[in-house]
């Protein structure tokens, strides 16, 4: 009798999870926000300017460039198991830095700011193994992204003769890279879903050699942990 009751409970739970939710509209607007995590020092592209700056400067790539990100997407449902869409996000972070072994004549620190901004435009597809109308909707997906980026170094610097000078170096451009994602969403009402998503975007770009950065490339690769709100219409 006890074993039979356990089977009934398991069957009821499975039925609840897989039972169809109210039909979702084919057009879905997604708003998201969460945590942007840059690739760490060991996994960044060769010649990366941030890694090169770790030699003379004191800052931390993983901690100082970790920050918030937000954005929105528009998805279109193609049948019961597939959505395709496009979106745009925003991230910007400024990392304060000082020289590791040099100080000014009065003993004060020689300070700089390293700033990175990324505006990713993404084109993705999502596959829902249990369907777009189940009670719990896990998904995996991927696609391509274009990162509109800007990188700058501003503040005080030291030349080869140990002279301190103020300067600002900046470069910007666009870089193409792959997007890989996975997540889950749950219907809250007929046309509103809430969920979470993990996303990886990989890209890097050449830097302008005339700007005299210590590195000749900038790694734009990052991971994102996102909370999502989706509205169907």
- DSSP letters, 11-39, are HHHHHHHHSBPSPPPSEEEEEEEEEEEEP
Q: Return d(Cα 200, Cα 177) in angstroms, integer.
A: 10
pTM above 0.85, yes or no: yes
Q: What is the pLDDT of residues 114-155, one digit of tens each?
A: 999 999 999 999 999 999 999 999 999 999 999 999 999 999
Q: Return d(Cα 192, Cα 97) in angstroms, integer.
A: 44
Q: Return d(Cα 127, Cα 143) in angstroms, integer.
A: 12
Q: What percent of the chain has pLDDT over 70?
A: 89
Contact 198, 182 (CB under 8 A): yes
Q: What is the pLDDT of residues 157-212, one digit of tens each?
A: 999 888 999 999 999 999 999 999 999 999 999 899 999 999 999 999 999 999 99
Q: What number of other Cβ atoms are within 10 A of residue 149's Cβ? A: 21
**CATH 2.102.10.10 fits domain 2-232:** no
Instruction: Tell whether the model's pLDDT for residue 10 goes beyond 70.
Output: no
Mean predicted lDDT score pLDDT of the chain: 91
Between CA 35 and CA 41, with CA 39 as vertex, the angle to 5 degrees is: 135
Q: Could you state, in order of their start, the residue ranges of all structural domains in the chain?
A: 2-232
Instruction: Tell whether the model's pLDDT for residue 64 goes beyond 50.
Output: yes
């Amino acid at each position: 009798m006890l074993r039979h009751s356990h089977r009934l409970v398991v069957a009821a739970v499975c039925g609840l999870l897989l039972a169809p939710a109210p039909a979702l509209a084919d057009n879905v607007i997604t708003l998201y926000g969460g945590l942007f995590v840059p690739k760490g020092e060991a996994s960044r592209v060769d010649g990366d300017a941030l890694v090169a700056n770790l030699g003379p400067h004191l800052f931390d790539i993983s901690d100082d460039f970790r920050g918030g990100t937000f954005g929105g997407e528009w998805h279109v449902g193609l049948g019961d198991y597939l959505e395709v869409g496009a979106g745009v996000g925003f991230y910007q972070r400024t990392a304060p830095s000082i020289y590791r072994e040099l100080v000014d004549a009065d003993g004060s620190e020689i300070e700089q700011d390293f700033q990175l901004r990324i505006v990713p435009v993404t084109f993705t597809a999502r596959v829902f193994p249990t369907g777009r109308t189940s009670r719990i909707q896990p998904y995996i997906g991927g696609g391509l992204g274009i990162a509109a980026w800007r990188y700058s170094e501003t503040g005080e610097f030291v030349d080869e003769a140990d002279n301190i000078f103020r300067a600002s170096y900046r470069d910007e451009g666009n870089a193409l890279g792959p997007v890989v994602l996975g997540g889950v969403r749950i219907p809250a009402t007929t046309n509103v879903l809430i969920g979470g998503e993990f996303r990886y975007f990989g890209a890097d770009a050449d830097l302008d050699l005339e700007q005299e950065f210590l590195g000749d490339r900038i790694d734009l690769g990052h991971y994102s942990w996102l909370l999502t709100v989706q509205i169907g219409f």
